[in-house]
């Protein structure tokens, strides 16, 4: 189900305001749609079975979810209709999953805020909640939007119609009115969110954006399920999510370990390919345990983003990185050879010159910008466009360090608050050859009709004009 269709169904559904323990069937579509959208997004047999089981459980009303007196009060509408509706959806999904209770969250991060992805139904849905007087109950940040809000011309080959900009602005206005922190990035961890809101290992949040979810669980030890955009929005308004999956201590303990041999230190692009391999091999509900060495934080970011792209995995327990005990339930050790990884990468590398080199999916860290600037400076004039996407926060830090000037001097396009995937870039650049160090960008650009390849940042040197 596409995001736009999910929004369409949700908008048409009429969730009740009164508290319900066993749902009336006519209301079931709201959470079943959300549930189906979330569960089927990975397209795995396990997900289909989980969905079917969840549906049977809902229809039979087998599980009753415990609600505190405060939650009952919210559901009765004492804190407004919007909060009651949002909590209702969370309760329904929690019941469908078999959660025993809800849990308070400290923060929410909402994905699916790009007009390109959610269309008019998404605008209607978000504006509908704002019209009901919805306010976020916890600090809430948001993912990238469909264009660079500071520079409409920074996405190559794309010009935006006034009506398109107005639709995106309507989404942003509604989110702002509800109290969102408009960071427009998929790397809230590089934009200072954990520091600003005092988030630490063991805290519970509700984040959308698969790459950020995997980073939160695996690197920061912050607990979140992989919420769909609408569910993260509901959790932000309700201030709660269901106690299930990655929120439960025991569910975070791995049973299968993946060991890279020999223990080569992986750069970003190799890390992405390892993420893809682990995601394809992994079976079961528990997070995979991974033994590998990563060159830096950007490589970790790319590994986790690839993992979340190819599967519905929300966490990897990474040896010497994840700040919690993996437990002692590992029953199987799978060895992955570095040769296999190299072969996989070689197949996806460009054999010819490309038109664009794209860095920054998920949004670039300062470390990645430095590496790019250094490579560009030693290369001279390049026969391709260099595009890098990052958050406004990292951009400001790069500006202070003189990095932005160095990148611009080397003719790099810097995109803030958006990226080549959630913008209409692909619609305007079919057949264009793009090389990227991000497995996630490679995956989505290929699916959108762009000729995408995987490469290292150092590949830029081969594109120098002689």
Question: Which residues are at the interface with ligand F3S (CB under 6 A)?
Answer: 143-144, 186, 211, 305, 361-363, 389, 419, 421-422, 440-441, 444
Q: Which is nearer to ligand F3S, 137 or 187 (CB)?
A: 187
Q: CA 262: distance to chain centroid?
A: 30
Q: Which is nearer to ligand F3S, 141 or 143 (CB)?
A: 143
Q: Which is nearer to ligand F3S, 136 or 442 (CB)?
A: 442
Q: Which is nearer to ligand F3S, 82 or 316 (CB)?
A: 316
In 3D, which of 108, 183, 209 has the Cα closest to residue 421?
209
Distance between CA atoms of 142 and 110, rounded to whole angstroms?
5
| Minimum CB distance to ligand F3S, residue 136 (Å) | 20
Distance between CA atoms of 379 and 9, rounded to whole angstroms?
52
Q: Which is nearer to ligand F3S, 67 or 422 (CB)?
A: 422
Q: For 349-415, where are the alpha helices, taking DSSP H only? A: 366-377, 392-400, 403-409
Q: Which is nearer to ligand F3S, 129 or 444 (CB)?
A: 444
Pairing outcome for strands 265-266 and 385-390: unpaired
Q: Which is nearer to ligand F3S, 144 or 156 (CB)?
A: 144
Distance between CA atoms of 188 and 325, rounded to whole angstroms?
25
The answer to whether 90 touches 240, Cβ cutoff 8 Å, is yes
| Minimum CB distance to ligand F3S, residue 134 (Å) | 24
Tokens of residue 137, six digits: 């109950």
Pairing outcome for strands 293-294 and 412-416: unpaired
Q: For 178-228, where are the alpha helices, taking DSSP H only? A: 193-196, 210-215
Q: What is the DSSP letter of 217?
A: I
| Minimum CB distance to ligand F3S, residue 109 (Å) | 12
| Minimum CB distance to ligand F3S, residue 364 (Å) | 9
Q: Which is nearer to ligand F3S, 15 or 362 (CB)?
A: 362
Paired with 257 in beta bridges are 289, 333
Q: Which is nearer to ligand F3S, 199 or 441 (CB)?
A: 441
Task: State the CB neighbour count (10 A cutoff) for residue 116.
Answer: 20
The answer to whether 214 touches 308, Cβ cutoff 8 Å, is yes
The answer to whether 59 touches 22, Cβ cutoff 8 Å, is no
Q: Which is nearer to ligand F3S, 32 or 421 (CB)?
A: 421
| Minimum CB distance to ligand F3S, residue 212 (Å) | 8
| Minimum CB distance to ligand F3S, residue 343 (Å) | 25
Pairing outcome for strands 240-242 and 102-104: antiparallel
Q: Which is nearer to ligand F3S, 366 or 419 (CB)?
A: 419
| Minimum CB distance to ligand F3S, residue 338 (Å) | 26
The answer to whether 439 touches 454, Cβ cutoff 8 Å, is yes
Q: How many CA atoms lie within 13 A of 396 on its CB side?
A: 9
| Minimum CB distance to ligand F3S, residue 194 (Å) | 18
Distance between CA atoms of 264 and 266, rounded to whole angstroms?
6
Helices then strands (H, E): number in the chain? 18, 16
Tokens of residue 182, six digits: 């408009």
| Minimum CB distance to ligand F3S, residue 389 (Å) | 5
| Minimum CB distance to ligand F3S, residue 360 (Å) | 6
| Minimum CB distance to ligand F3S, residue 64 (Å) | 38
Q: Which is nearer to ligand F3S, 211 or 437 (CB)?
A: 211
CB-based contacts of 121: which residues, under 8 Å, 6+ apart? 4, 5, 7, 8, 11
| Minimum CB distance to ligand F3S, residue 110 (Å) | 12
284 phi and psi angles, rounded to 5 deg: 100, 165
Give the chain's length: 466
In 3D, which of 304, 316, 141 has the Cα closest to residue 210?
304
Query: What helix, strand, coil percent values describe the chain, rounded to 5?
Result: 45, 15, 40
């Amino acid at each position: 189900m596409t995001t736009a269709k999910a929004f369409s169904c949700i908008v048409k559904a009429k969730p009740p305001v009164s508290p319900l323990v066993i749902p009336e069937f006519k209301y079931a579509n709201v959470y079943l749609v959300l549930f189906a959208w979330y569960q089927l997004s990975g397209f795995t047999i396990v997900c289909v079975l989980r969905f079917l089981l969840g549906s049977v459980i809902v229809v039979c009303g087998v599980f009753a979810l415990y609600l505190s007196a405060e939650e009952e009060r919210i559901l009765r509408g004492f804190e407004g209709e919007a909060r009651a509706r949002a909590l209702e959806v969370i309760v329904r999904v929690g019941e469908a999953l078999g959660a025993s209770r809800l849990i308070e969250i400290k923060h929410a991060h909402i994905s699916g805020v790009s007009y390109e992805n959610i269309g008019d139904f998404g605008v209607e849905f978000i504006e509908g909640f704002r019209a009901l007087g919805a306010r976020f109950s916890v600090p809430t940040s948001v993912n990238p939007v469909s264009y660079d809000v500071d520079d409409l011309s920074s996405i190559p080959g794309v010009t935006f119609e006034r009506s398109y900009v107005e639709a995106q602005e309507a989404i942003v206005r509604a989110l702002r009115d509800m109290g969102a922190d408009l960071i427009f990035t998929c790397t809230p961890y590089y934009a200072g969110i954990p520091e600003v809101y005092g988030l630490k290992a063991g805290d519970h949040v509700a984040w959308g954006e698969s790459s950020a979810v995997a980073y939160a669980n695996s690197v920061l030890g912050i607990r979140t399920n992989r919420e769909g955009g609408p569910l993260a929005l509901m959790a932000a308004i309700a201030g709660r999510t269901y106690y299930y999956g990655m929120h439960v201590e025991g569910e975070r303990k791995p049973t299968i370990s993946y060991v890279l041999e020999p223990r080569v230190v992986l750069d970003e692009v190799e890390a992405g390919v390892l993420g893809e391999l682990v995601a394809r091999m992994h079976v079961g509900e528990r997070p995979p345990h991974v033994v590998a060495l990563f060159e830096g934080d950007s490589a970790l970011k790319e590994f986790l983003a690839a993992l979340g792209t190819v599967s519905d995995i929300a966490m990897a327990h990474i040896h010497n990185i994840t700040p919690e005990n993996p437990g002692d339930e590992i029953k199987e050790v799978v060895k992955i050879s570095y040769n296999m990884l190299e072969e996989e990468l070689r197949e996806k590398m460009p054999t010819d010159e490309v038109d664009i080199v794209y860095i920054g999916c998920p949004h670039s860290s300062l470390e990645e910008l430095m590496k790019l600037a250094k490579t560009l400076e030693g290369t001279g004039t390049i026969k391709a466009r260099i595009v890098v996407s990052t958050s406004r926060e990292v951009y400001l830090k790069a500006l202070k360090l003189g990095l932005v000037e160095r990148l611009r001097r080397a003719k790099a396009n810097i995109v803030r608050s958006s990226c080549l995937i959630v913008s209409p870039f692909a619609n305007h650049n079919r057949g264009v050859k793009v090389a990227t160090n991000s497995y996630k960008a490679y995956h989505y650009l290929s699916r959108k009709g762009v000729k995408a390849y995987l490469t290292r940042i150092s590949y830029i040197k081969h594109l120098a004009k002689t």
